[in-house]
A and B are shown apart, each in its own frame.
Chain A
């Protein structure tokens, strides 16, 4: 019990810390914040249940007024924009990433975690964020998808990193990777 609480809280803090770090600039010159990497890793490391709880805890604290989102944003207002679909999608992203990790316990952890991060952290996330944006702005599917396209390359790189980091963490602290325990 204590261990679950500590891991959920620490991973919620990690999502916040990753969002508040200065942006990484990749070789291609795309600046990315690591916040969504944190969401992916919650799923791939903590598994579906604990991962979702960590993300929900993070979002509740953002809603209560802590400036934990990338760029120091927070408060109830951030849930009122058409982009809030990403925030509402985060718990589902972590859940599905974790669910895949828990159900495909063969092969290289890096590959499975990378695929889990792509399906959860990109597929599921955008499947929620794009319709939400469409309802919020009254735009069509193609326009809304086009608006979000620039984020996809960065997200793919983050999914690869999520795979590599999950495997490295499994090697160093196998007991911490709940999704494979």
Chain B
């Protein structure tokens, strides 16, 4: 399955994931109360320069990741042009773009395995209380493994439906999809138990 991380290594990959996440949290908290559009525009340009420092392809990839948000941003701006003041709408959008771009940059430059390590580290206090934190790793692996499996099953179900009917399958394949997932879950549970459990 495709991940959202960059296909190549950048300088930002070397920074520990914990620092990047802490930095993101601090910057987000600081930027959130800002309403001045000049300051916000400056920050957005700063974030763009940060991308450029890592490479031009990084900026292009970041813009590609922002596409769905661009539509929403246009809708908000339109609403504000017709209803209330334009400046307020602009500052909302600038702030959103800055924070989302920065968050995406962390996602782009951090490997999934590092992120999972961070979550496990955050769960350590729970481990001291007697909660089995290994469960998170096992469940994560299962989701990553089974999402493509279920997508393949869904397309197989859709093809077999279309072999028999001129109409599209639509929602009717959801029930058999759940049925296969439930049966898989039972088998996986048995297999886990047979191998010594979690």
Q: What is the minimal beta-carbon distance from B122 to any residue of chain A, in angstroms?
A: 10
Q: Does A14 make an interface contact (CB < 8 A)?
A: yes
Given contacts A65-B110, A77-B101, contact A71 B68 (CB under 8 A): yes
A37 CB contacts on chain B under 8 angstroms: 171, 174
Nearest 8 pairs between A and B by C-beta?
A75-B107, A9-B142, A76-B103, A17-B150, A77-B104, A13-B146, A6-B189, A64-B115
- Known contacts A9-B139, A13-B142, A74-B4; A1 and B185 CB within 8 A of each other: no
A14 vs B142: C-alpha distance when bound (angstroms): 11
Chain A positions within 8 Å of B3 at CB level: 65-67
Interface of A is mostly: helix
In the bound complex, how far is the Cα of B146 from the Cα of A158, in angstroms?
23
A83 within 8 A of B: yes
Q: Does B129 touch A at the CB level, under 8 Å?
A: no
Residues of A in contact (CB 8 Å), total 61
* Contact for A76 among B107, B144, B154, B184, CB less than 8 A: B107
Expressed in whole angstroms, the minimum distance between the Cβ of A13 and any Cβ of chain B is 4
In the complex, what residues of B have CB within 8 A of residue A34's CB?
171, 174
Query: Of A55-63, A90-98, A103-111, A124-132, which binds chain B?
Result: A55-63
- Interface 1/0s, chain A 134-154, versus B by CB < 8 A? 001111000100010000000
The answer to whether B28 has its CB under 8 Å from any CB of chain A is yes
The residues of A with any CB-CB pair to B shorter than 8 Å are: 1-3, 5-14, 16-18, 20-21, 24-26, 34, 37, 41, 45, 57-58, 60-61, 64-68, 71-83, 136-139, 143, 147, 161, 164-165, 168-169, 172-173, 176
